[in-house]
Structure 1
Amino acid sequence: GPNHRGFDLCKFFRSSEPTEHTRGNAEAFARAYLEECGGCEGRGSEAAVESLLAEAKLFEPLTWLEAGVFFLFAAKGDLAGRQRWEGLAFDRLENYSRCVDRFRDDMQLFLRTKPLVPQ
């Protein structure tokens, strides 16, 4: 099932304004990651790459929420930089709000690319 690698991969490539390059770079990274992964199924096949990218996409709302909460705590602890931290928090929480509604669709995509129980 989905795990920390999906969360980490999502943080590398999430963007509030993704481009064609964002997707291409994520695919290249996922392919290289899978080729180097000793115990990964499919090791670099298109299906394995798509499955890993679908896994990463599941975590997008959580990565934005985590960053938003972090910046809220930073604003509380750094009064001199509070305005900057609050701006960063607002941006991340706005991105969370934008993508959280897609979670159900992303979960369905993930479930189509990978069985929950390894065979």
Structure 2
Amino acid sequence: MESLTKRRIGTAVVNLMVNAIIVNVLEETVLKRVKRPVIRGIVTQSVVDVVMETVQLRLTDGRTVGSRVMGLRVVSQDNQPLKTTQILKRIAYREVFTAGKFFKDRQRYLEDASVLPEDEFAKTRVIRDGR
């Protein structure tokens, strides 16, 4: 497995841990009174994931906490600053379609992890930070 693939996996793991901490804090403080498990279990996690990734990528020039730790950055293919619509397209496509498309052509994506299906759709790519 290529180094960029490993770094992207590491980024996802770090982001997942950070978001899980935030969800737990929210559930213990703000959502104590919410009795519906669907809201507490599914909606909260999904909303936190989308908001955290969008805010981080938008405000920190294409970096999330995980990508900073792993030395990666998301950039637009046209070398313009990331747009909020690109970020949201990337997240939505990844959550809905990426797994299917990835497994159909996994060898290609494992060889060059700079552009995964969600990046193709949103016209973004992942680079090593500093390049």
Which TM bucket (shorter chain)? 0.3 to 0.5
TM-score calculated relative to the size of structure 1: 0.38
The structure with the largest alpha-carbon Rg is: 1
Q: Which TM-score applies when normalising by structure 2?
A: 0.35
More strand by share: 2
